[in-house]
């Protein structure tokens, strides 16, 4: 697992948490997540997405 993918996934989880808590809007969280993913390499972007999907699946 690359460090950048792991950091991006944690950042995105934080944004989602803040949106759920009402600290920021869902649109702001989505925009921040898109920006974070945009700056990753394609492989890191795919890995970060996989990390988030696996954690979402685990929570269900």
Query: What dihedral angle (degrees, nearest 10) is formed by the CA atoms of 55, 49, 46, 27?
Result: -170
Does pLDDT of 60 surpass 80? Answer: no
The rounded percent of the chain whose pLDDT value lies above 70 is 100
- Helices 3-20, 26-38: axis angle to 10 degrees equals 170
What does the pLDDT look like over 28-51, one tens digit per residue? Answer: 999 999 999 999 999 999 999 999
User: What global pTM score does this model have?
Assistant: 0.87
């Amino acid at each position: 697992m690359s460090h950048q993918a792991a950091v991006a996934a944690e950042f995105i989880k934080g944004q989602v948490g803040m949106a759920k808590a009402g600290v920021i809007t869902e649109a702001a969280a989505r925009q921040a997540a898109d920006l974070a993913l945009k700056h990753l390499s394609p492989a890191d972007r795919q890995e970060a997405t996989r990390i988030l999907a696996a954690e979402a699946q685990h929570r269900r």
